[in-house]
A and B are shown apart, each in its own frame.
Chain A
Amino acid sequence: MEEQQIQDFVHRVSHDETLRKELASNPDGVIMREGFSPRVARIVARLVPQLALDKPIGPSSPFFWR
């Protein structure tokens, strides 16, 4: 299930400093190794700046729907 894959991956990155550093330096390699579906891979790729570099999260919807 895609939701569970995302939840598990965020949890692992949050608790594994080595994985965090690897994700920061080689995101494509990590995403490929994890074997995500293309859709989950796209989402994880978008999450990399927040997961690995502590960048702020941005809204995903146009402001008028929020």
Chain B
Amino acid sequence: MLIERLNLLLAALDSVLYPDVIRALEGAGKLLSQPEHQADHPDPPLPAGVWPLLTLLVAQQITPDIDTVSASSVAVAIECFVCAIDLLDDVIDEDQTPTLQTLGVARTLNVSTALLTLAQQAILSLSQQGVQPLTILRLLNTLQESALVVTAGQHRDVLAEQRPAQNFTREECIEIAAAKAGSIMRLACRLGALCAGADNVVCEQFSEFGELLGIAHQLDNDNHDLYYLLQGGTSTIASTEAETARNIKSDLVRGKKTLPVVLAAQINGTLQNTSSSADEEKKEYLRALHEGILTTWGICLLYRERARDRLQEIETQKPVAPLLHLLLGFE
């Protein structure tokens, strides 16, 4: 159903733009991807379309007999939105993803614009499915608000590259994580709740839950990428080892103020330019970085626990469906 809705939406695209949009939506983990297990990689392949599935399952959690066509349209809006934001993120961070390598910067930016517009189109299409105009307006408004929060978070992240890590605080790092991954997962949950006709209390519960979980995911990403790089081992994240290492190094070179890096700078009182330091200073910095990584992991677990607490509040009203539990990673 999700792929069907997405294909209907894409059918309106100009034939010049269509193949490039498809290329983006076939990227790893995206709805049109075809997961293939790589024999030399420890992880299973990324399943296709976890973001729209989250929105759809939240909607079905609230209203089990919800019209799947309209709920799928909202879920597809999330897929387009997340794909657009991911492309922008890759361009900004200069990550050499397969899509960016194939399309180049100019076409990638154009595809991102098209996907942001398609996300709105997907919601506007609800008017053909008998959804009330007020609901459509609320969904669209929520999408627009989130887009501005994510963009501000990304902008803040870019500006942070110019500031020394010691001038950063733990709170600022978490605020950036909240504005980026936190607000995207918040949006995915909130749109699901809104389209299912949830009241304000339930909408807010799912929104907060999504934000907390999104922050935990962001911290987990930042931390484990750095950790495995320091260990010289293999990351368990689902991309090739070389690609992962390249992206992490790119983050370090760009001066990304991830939480473990900021905490290490606070502990050590040094900048990130360890290569120019004496050996002993470098060892001290690495020890501080290790402490920063452990602290970040603890804070990541804290946000995951907070999300779990929210989920348990939700479950006091109605048990959460096993598939949604599985998707969220809570036993």
Contacts and interface: CB of A to CB of B under 8 A. Distances in A.
Question: Among A6, A11, A65, which residue has the most Cβ atoms of chain B within 10 A?
Answer: A65
A50 B216 contact: no
B238 interface: yes
B227 interface: yes
A14 interface: yes
Interface residue range, chain B? 35 or more
Interface string B15-47: 000000000000001000000000000011011
Contacts of B227: 56-57
A56 B301 CA distance: 15
Contact of B220 (A50, A64, A66): A66
Given A60-B220, A63-B44, A65-B217, A3 B236 contact: no
Given A50-B297, A57-B294, A64-B29, A7 B302 contact: no
A40 interface: yes
A54 B150 CA distance: 36
B267 interface: yes
Given A3-B170, A39-B302, A39-B305, A61 B295 contact: no
B295 A43 contact: no
Interface in A37-66: 39-40, 42-44, 46-47, 50-51, 56-57, 59-66
A10 B298 contact: yes
B305 A61 contact: no
Contacts of B220: 59-61, 66
Interface residues of A, number: 26
A43 B305 contact: yes
Contacts of A66: 217, 220-221, 224, 236-238
B301 A46 contact: yes
B47 A60 contact: no
A2 interface: yes
Contacts of B313: none
A52 B130 CA distance: 60
B257 interface: no
A59 B226 CA distance: 12
A40 B227 CA distance: 23
Given A10-B298, A50-B294, A57-B293, A63 B237 contact: yes
A40 B294 CA distance: 14
A2 B171 CA distance: 12
Interface string A11-39: 10010000000000000000000000001
Nearest to A47: B298
A47 B297 contact: yes
B170 A7 contact: yes
Contact of B50 (A6, A42, A65): A65
B263 interface: yes
Contacts of A44: 298
B43 A63 contact: yes
Contacts of A61: 216-217, 220, 304, 329
Given A7-B295, A57-B223, A63-B46, 4 more contacts: A14-B287, A14-B290, A61-B216, A66-B238
11 contacts: A3-B299, A6-B299, A43-B305, A44-B298, A51-B294, A61-B216, A61-B217, A61-B220, A63-B236, A65-B50, A65-B329
**Nearest 9 A/B pairs, CB to CB:** A62-B329, A6-B298, A10-B295, A14-B291, A43-B301, A66-B237, A61-B220, A65-B217, A61-B217
